[in-house]
Structure 1
């Protein structure tokens, strides 16, 4: 109890100082902060769950310098450093198969940073990436205590709440497209694609009918929110996730009787026409525009597809000219603004509209940081998928079907992130770095677990 007592003493001093300062009304905040730090000290995994829950809700605090996520993250980092210092937290938890790729990526990132064409933009990019790196380390340290079913519930509920807000309030829409609290329909679509596999696991694993109906209603809400985003990439990723789910549960489908199949066909016959009827006409038009890809992209037919094609052209040119270290982290908008595409696709001719990101994380890293760093980053995403799938296979070998099912759905969420990175510039996304670390933790946990004893 040495560390908690020292924390109490420190915060007591802070409270006294605040009472004697021109801002005495801040003193109660120190007491609340003390309570929060003590809770995190006893249950640090709760802090990580809180951060995960707050990701879809971060838009509520966009105008505040000190947000709930920042406060919890800073407090959690302080607590874990103290526990490491006194030996209460074993340092071996930092062991991960991801470190080689991550250290290689960061070494190349640093070299690219030093050779950057714009140190200011690179510094801003690094500040964003640093948040992900901190979450990676925190997850490695406390991932073993993370309650995965609770994480699935909290992610489903938080994303579901933002879906409801976006569907029924124009305040959380961007030109008619649902954007939730993040002001970006595509980022919002990625959150939904991550949450759907988790929500489906809750439907399948719930112990009673009432809970299954509740989580099924959440799935319907998430799917409705996806249609409201008008995101074509979201629809593609969601379709892939559902196919993976069907493949995983194919053995259970073989036990269905003909009468069950009849009810399923009747349900589809009712649901599909209703879904098409309630789906926004603009979304149907955007989906139909994908047919343009067969004959090449025509910018005058679809401005969005034409703009994305221009990102590929500019990014490819950057890679050819700077293959080793790129032009510097965060400098793609600077390069793009100097091309004719920036003016051609600028909707309002504003200066800020000329500086566009690549809307493709992989392309952005390859062009900004170089090909070697890009390969290391792709390797981390692939390794995370392998870790989760390998852990799933180990649980199956040890006879724990429940753990294997849970990891199947988490693998699908990780795959959704990996696929969405082809349509978004989000190298610093919190869920990405949390799952990168969590994949290593879950693989190690599966390797060390004992086989399930079957009662004879």
Structure 2
């Protein structure tokens, strides 16, 4: 139950819109079941709840700061609503780090996330090609949010397709990568395009993909796009016309919202304007620029976190992201795991999670994405892989000391050979 509730949480997160259409509470079922199972498993299993890691401590600190900010800003009208959105992700992060360190292999979590994102990409293409959406939406109302989810899974598909030896992974990763890229392209999201570009450059820099292979894939994709474009020319022309119409307006409004968020952070540096406070205070801090904005967001994750929760919370939030990157890099560079096969799988999992976190952080420069699973899943997986690689390193060192240099024989009074 612990394993399958975790995998369901990750796989169903990208499909939240479809679940909400069936029942408003359906999307909460898998995460709630996972958290309850986790607590029961730890309490009756005799193991402490939680795993110590910088990502875990940052998540817990953020939870305290969210509660404190909400407590002093209850009058903003949305503090409780947005606290209920923040808290589950932070608690889930702590639980996922623990479970992925001790109970479920990180690649199982990556497979669940990739499966959910690919299903989301299928929905995006269906909405764009057959349901008349000018820009792909699928299970998410906002095309930019959809692109964020799809691009976060692209590095996982790349690493699995190119480097994992299991044929089952390749059968999943190959069509998933195609659907993810096409679905992200159908959103016409500039943030998604930038994220994919950054991920591709990262993959080339890390030598996950050869330049020749990337160029060949680009040529084949371009050749396949020509007949596809002819088949759906009217749909694409309409989407491009709509994107061109709103592009200049988006740039202007995002500048206004970034300035408003910066003003909020300057006026309330300690605990911000409270969770959801940007939504309440934007009209006044935006100096009446968008009176008709019903549910405004900052369209910049970092500024929105700082404006709503304060500078201290923003620093903790950035520290969590930095800890995720450092943890993944440490796992990539760790050469001491107990076996070559296990070490390679952990290293590849660390690379996949690192690429996903990179795509998330890039997209979030233009979007408010702190309330979506890819960010928190990537942080949890990087931390868990790091802890697993450290455990493998300790086991390998102990085995080396026991069997390699003869110290255990000397210490125990034995006469075994002391090999060097």
- TM-score w.r.t. the length of structure 2 is 0.80
Going from structure 1 to structure 2, the CA distance change for 1:207 and 1:442 (only over 3 Å counts) comes to closer
Instruction: Please give the residue correspondences for 1:359-398 in structure 2 after superposition, counting only pairs within 5 Å.
Output: 359-395=299-335
Kindly state the Cα deviation for residue 89 of structure 1 after the two structures are TM-superposed. Answer: 4.4
Instruction: Please give the residue correspondences for 1:40-79 in structure 2 after superposition, counting only pairs within 5 Å.
Output: 40=1, 44-63=2-21, 64-67=23-26, 69-79=27-37
Kindly state the Cα deviation for residue 249 of structure 1 after the two structures are TM-superposed. Answer: 1.8
Structure 2 CA distance for aligned equivalents of residues 367 and 177 of structure 1: 30
Q: Choose from 271, 278, 284 the match for 1:332.
A: 278
Q: Is the 8 A contact 2:9 2:31 kept in 1?
A: yes
Structure 1 CA distance for aligned equivalents of residues 263 and 131 of structure 2: 35
Structure 1 CA distance for aligned equivalents of residues 83 and 115 of structure 2: 31
Matched position secondary structure for 1:62: helix
Q: Does 1:357 align with 2:297?
A: yes
Matched position secondary structure for 2:77: helix
Kindly state the Cα deviation for residue 356 of structure 1 after the two structures are TM-superposed. Answer: 0.4
Deviations 1:189-224 (A, max 9, x none): 111111111111221245477964663232112111
Q: Does 1:124 align with 2:64?
A: no
Kindly state the Cα deviation for residue 343 of structure 1 after the two structures are TM-superposed. Answer: 5.2
Matched position secondary structure for 1:338: helix
Q: Runs of 5+ in structure 1 lacking a partner?
A: 1-39, 255-260, 290-298
Kindly state the Cα deviation for residue 284 of structure 1 after the two structures are TM-superposed. Answer: 6.6
Structure 2 CA distance for aligned equivalents of residues 392 and 414 of structure 1: 15
Structure 2 CA distance for aligned equivalents of residues 267 and 137 of structure 1: 39
- TM-score w.r.t. the length of structure 1 is 0.75
Deviations 1:157-203 (A, max 9, x none): 32222222221235997951112212121111111111111111221
Partner residue in 1 for 2:407: none
Deviations 1:292-345 (A, max 9, x none): xxxxxxx9970011111111111121122222222222110111123566654x
Matched position secondary structure for 1:113: helix
Going from structure 1 to structure 2, the CA distance change for 1:356 and 1:212 (only over 3 Å counts) comes to same
Range moving further from structure 2, 191-200 or 77-86: 77-86
Kindly state the Cα deviation for residue 358 of structure 1 after the two structures are TM-superposed. Answer: 0.7
Structure 2 CA distance for aligned equivalents of residues 78 and 215 of structure 1: 31
Partner residue in 2 for 1:151: 109
Q: Is the 8 A contact 1:118 1:331 kept in 2?
A: no
Q: Is the 8 A contact 1:174 1:185 kept in 2?
A: no
Range moving further from structure 2, 221-230 or 155-164: 155-164
Q: Does 1:317 align with 2:263?
A: yes
Structure 2 CA distance for aligned equivalents of residues 245 and 59 of structure 1: 31
Going from structure 1 to structure 2, the CA distance change for 1:342 and 1:333 (only over 3 Å counts) comes to farther
Range moving further from structure 2, 95-104 or 273-282: 273-282
Q: Does 1:111 align with 2:68?
A: yes
Going from structure 1 to structure 2, the CA distance change for 1:406 and 1:314 (only over 3 Å counts) comes to same
Going from structure 1 to structure 2, the CA distance change for 1:313 and 1:240 (only over 3 Å counts) comes to same
How many residues are treated as equivalent by the alignment?
A: 386
Q: Runs of 5+ in structure 2 lacking a partner?
A: 230-235, 401-420
Q: Is the 8 A contact 1:162 1:181 kept in 2?
A: yes
Structure 1 CA distance for aligned equivalents of residues 53 and 167 of structure 2: 40
Q: Is the 8 A contact 2:275 2:309 kept in 1?
A: yes
Partner residue in 2 for 1:8: none
